[in-house]
């Protein structure tokens, strides 16, 4: 158990009541199901998640388009991503997630470009399909990319532009991979819908497209749900390579199309962000027999634990020994370098409101620094991200989720090649090495608070009540939090910092957190004559 709340359960309960009582009655009833005081004595605490935000509530959430193009698809840097719609959606998702991409040998790099059909009133009235066709043609003529993606925004869905049809037609004409994502912003209740839509289309149009390569030697994995913010993917790959494990494809950080089309050849999928990409892990398991392992590469002990999980999976004494050597070497260096910062950070408290996995992952890294997470919640997670996958059968599919396509996947007659026998895999399943995610809740200490889809009002109240030493959140909250005199660390975007993953990343993080929390600047928030005597 990582976190004990420095406040008692009664105070936490009182705070929850204070939060709820400010709401209109119906909203209060709804929100109370999204707030849980952690009680480890109860084996299965429930929390409501992935349901609509009440209109008018100031929320952290974005939309389906943001989840699809902005998060999952956009980071593929050697692909031209066209946004079909008015200019805004493309503009706001243009390099705002700090996706970093290294040009491969072929020199294809479009990561700094922003492509849109910039639909105007005429297109809305008469339909935008011709404009999309032309835009694809123009992109092709200018850049000859190896793949093109097309993303729908709200009005496109409403006027009924058949972007799938245009993509098919143009793919045939240009003999290029063109995939279309119906990720209109109104779909689902948050970014989450867009992740699912992105996964589906990648699964249908990208995975397995490389039919030339039959197999790849050695220990091979894909990393799923890693977006290379501030260079995270490179640090993860450095350590895996050092152990002798090859990364075939990363979805999507520093992602390349050619690598992605080989993903079905990897022996295992390592799932970082469970929320954004567990769909892909499941579908690949069914179709290609690729087992998935939930890992966390954020935090030095979490990384070591994940590496040992991998050692157990591959079950080769030589590899296991190499992994142990790498862990010993990397841990020793990182621990020494972190020690100085830990001295200054030990015992400080943290709130975490990030994404659909980061609020869990970063607790391990804060624990490395001796910091306690006392309130945590996700912005767009589902119940399984909190309660673990055992919650899956209990989740009722509502109308908003039903609108997202569920692919029917079957084993591929030729390429279904599990890396291990069914008996071995069953054993690994029993040991919870593969196919298991227990969620954030079991790792939260007694009396801590879980808040799903936190609203501004809730954040405001919790800050005033608990005065944390640091809040990990996103850009919309950052300066709100800091106006309270409390430092905030962007954990979607890292404030120009990073990497934070892995061993080197943890040291970076320690330094950056120390610079936020222990900066002398906070002492000047009140003028000398305003300070209580």
Partner 1 sequence: MLEATPTEVQEREALRINPAKTCQPIGAMYAALGLHNCLPHSHGSQGCCSYHRSHLTRHYKEPIMAATSSFTEGTAVFGGGANLRQALTTIFKLYNPDVVAINTTCLSETIGDDLPSLIRAAQDDGIIPEDKLVIHANTPSYVGTHVTGWSNMAKAIVDYLVQKSDTPQQQINLIPGYVEPADTRHLKRFLKEFGVESVVFPDTSDVVDTPQTGDFRMYPKGGTPVEDLKTAGDSLATVALGPMASEAAAKSLQNKCDVPYRALDLPIGVAACDRFVQTLMELTGTQPPESLVDDRGRLVDIMTDMQQYLYGLRVAVSGDPDQVVPLTEFLVSCGARPVYVITGTPSKYFRKRCEEILSNTVPEAIYKDDTDLFYLHQLIKNNPVDLLVTNVYGKYIARAEDIPLVRFGWPILDRVGHSYFPTVGYRGSMHLLCTILNTLLERKDRDDPDEVFELVM
Residues known to be catalytic:
63, 66, 97, 195
The verdict on 65 binding partner 1 (CB under 8 A) reads yes
Cβ distance to partner 1 smaller for residue 188 or 291: 188
DSSP readout, 196-238? HHHHHHHHHHTTT---S-----SEEEEEEEE--BTTHHHHHHH
Cβ distance to partner 1 smaller for residue 335 or 400: 400
CB of 493 to partner 1, least distance (A): 9
Answer whether 383's CB lies under 8 Å from 50's CB: yes
Answer whether 224's CB lies under 8 Å from 168's CB: no
CB of 102 to partner 1, least distance (A): 13
Q: Which of 460, 461, 511, 518 binds partner 1 (CB under 8 A)?
A: 460
Q: HSE-up of 20 (CA within 13 Å, CB side)?
A: 18
Q: Which positions ≥6 away from 522 have C-beta within 8 Å? A: 485, 487
The verdict on 69 binding partner 1 (CB under 8 A) reads no
Q: Which of 99, 149, 190, 252 binds partner 1 (CB under 8 A)?
A: 190
Cβ distance to partner 1 smaller for residue 46 or 118: 118
| Per-residue CA distances from 480 to 96, 209, 252 (Å) | 20, 46, 30
Q: For residue 129, give the nearest of 104, 109, 159 by alpha carbon.
A: 159
Calpha distance 371→388 (Å, rounded): 24
CB of 530 to partner 1, least distance (A): 9
- Mask of contacts with partner 1, 139-178, x by CB under 8 A? x-xxx---------xxx-xxx-------------------
CB of 192 to partner 1, least distance (A): 12
Site for partner 1 (CB under 8 A): how many residues?
90
Query: Which of these segments, 187-195, 203-211, 386-394, 442-450, binds partner 1 (CB under 8 A)?
Result: 187-195
Cβ distance to partner 1 smaller for residue 436 or 482: 482
The verdict on 528 binding partner 1 (CB under 8 A) reads no
- Mask of contacts with partner 1, 29-58, x by CB under 8 A? -----------------------xxxxxxx
Query: Which of these segments, 22-30, 287-295, 368-376, 438-446, binds partner 1 (CB under 8 A)?
Result: 22-30
Q: For residue 439, give the nearest of 132, 72, 47, 93 by alpha carbon.
A: 47
The verdict on 218 binding partner 1 (CB under 8 A) reads no
Tell me which residues in 366-405 interact with partner 1 (CB under 8 A): 399-400, 403
- Mask of contacts with partner 1, 75-94, x by CB under 8 A? -------x--xxxxxxxxxx
Q: Which of 20, 114, 331, 395 binds partner 1 (CB under 8 A)?
A: 114
Helices (H) and strands (E) in the chain — how many of each?
21, 14
Angle among Cα 427, 432, 436 to the nearest 5 degrees reads: 125
Query: Which of these segments, 279-287, 342-350, 435-443, 454-462, binds partner 1 (CB under 8 A)?
Result: 454-462
| In the block, residue with structure tokens 């609108």 | 403
CB of 470 to partner 1, least distance (A): 16
The verdict on 467 binding partner 1 (CB under 8 A) reads no
Give the E-state strand segments of 230-322 in sequence order. Answer: 245-252, 268-271, 292-294
The verdict on 23 binding partner 1 (CB under 8 A) reads yes
| Per-residue CA distances from 415 to 286, 394, 398 (Å) | 11, 33, 34
The verdict on 118 binding partner 1 (CB under 8 A) reads yes
Q: For residue 278, give the nearest of 381, 181, 414, 354 by alpha carbon.
A: 381
Calpha distance 257→147 (Å, rounded): 7
CB of 82 to partner 1, least distance (A): 7
Tell me which residues in 244-303 interact with partner 1 (CB under 8 A): none
CB of 174 to partner 1, least distance (A): 14
Calpha distance 502→215 (Å, rounded): 28
């Amino acid at each position: 158990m990582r976190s004990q709340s420095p406040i008692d359960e009664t105070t936490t309960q009182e705070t929850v009541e204070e939060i709820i009582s400010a709401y209109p009655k119906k909203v209060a009833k709804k929100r109370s199901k999204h707030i849980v005081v952690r009680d480890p004595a109860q084996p299965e605490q429930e929390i409501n998640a992935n349901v609509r935000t009440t209109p008018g509530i100031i929320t952290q959430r974005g939309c389906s388009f943001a989840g699809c193009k902005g998060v999952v698809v956009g980071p593929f840097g050697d692909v031209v991503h066209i946004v079909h719609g008015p200019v805004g959606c493309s503009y706001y998702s243009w390099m705002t997630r700090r996706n970093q991409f290294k040009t491969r040998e072929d020199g294809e790099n479009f990561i700094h470009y922003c492509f849109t059909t910039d639909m105007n009133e005429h297109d809305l009235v008469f339909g935008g399909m011709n404009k999309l066709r032309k835009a694809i043609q123009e992109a092709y003529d200018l850049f000859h990319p190896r793949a093109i993606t097309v993303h729908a925004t709200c009005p496109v869905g409403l006027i009924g532009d058949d972007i799938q049809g245009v993509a098919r037609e143009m793919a045939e004409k240009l003999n290029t991979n063109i995939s279309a994502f119906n990720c209109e912003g109104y779909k689902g209740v948050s970014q989450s819908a867009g992740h699912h839509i992105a996964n589906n289309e990648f699964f249908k149009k990208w995975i397995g497209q490389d039919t030339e390569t039959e197999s790849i030697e050695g220990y091979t994995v894909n990393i799923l749900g890693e977006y290379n913010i501030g260079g995270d993917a490179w640090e993860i790959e450095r350590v895996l390579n050092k152990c002798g494990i090859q990364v075939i494809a990363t979805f999507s950080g520093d992602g390349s199309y050619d690598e992605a089309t080989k993903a079905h050849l990897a022996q295992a999928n390592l799932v970082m962000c469970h929320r954004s990409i567990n769909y892909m892990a499941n579908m690949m398991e069914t179709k290609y027999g690729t087992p998935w392992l939930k890992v966390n590469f954020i935090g030095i002990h979490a990384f070591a634990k994940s590496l040992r999980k991998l050692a157990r999976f591959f079950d080769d004494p030589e590899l296991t020994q190499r992994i142990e050597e790498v862990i010993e070497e990397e841990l020793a260096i990182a621990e020494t370098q972190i020690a100085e910062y830990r001295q200054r950070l030990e015992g400080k408290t943290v709130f975490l409101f990030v994404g659909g996995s980061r609020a869990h992952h970063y607790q391990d890294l804060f624990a490395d620094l001796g910091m306690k997470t006392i309130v945590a919640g996700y912005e767009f997670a589902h119940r399984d991200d909190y309660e673990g996958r055992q919650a899956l059968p209990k989740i009722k599919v509502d109308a908003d989720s039903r609108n997202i396509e569920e692919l029917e996947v079957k084993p591929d007659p030729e390429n279904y090649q599990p890396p291990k026998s069914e008996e071995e895999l069953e054993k690994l399943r029993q040991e919870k090495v593969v196919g298991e995610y227990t969620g954030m809740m079991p790792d939260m200490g007694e009396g801590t608070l879980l808040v799903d889809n936190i609203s501004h009002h809730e954040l405001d109240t919790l800050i005033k009540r608990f005065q944390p030493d640091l809040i990990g959140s996103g850009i919309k909250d950052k300066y709100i939090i800091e106006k309270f005199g409390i430092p905030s660390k962007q954990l979607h975007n890292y404030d120009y910092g990073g990497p934070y993953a892995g061993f080197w990343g943890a040291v970076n993080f320690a330094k950056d957190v120390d610079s936020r929390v222990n900066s002398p600047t906070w002492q000047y928030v009140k003028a000398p004559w305003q300070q209580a005597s």
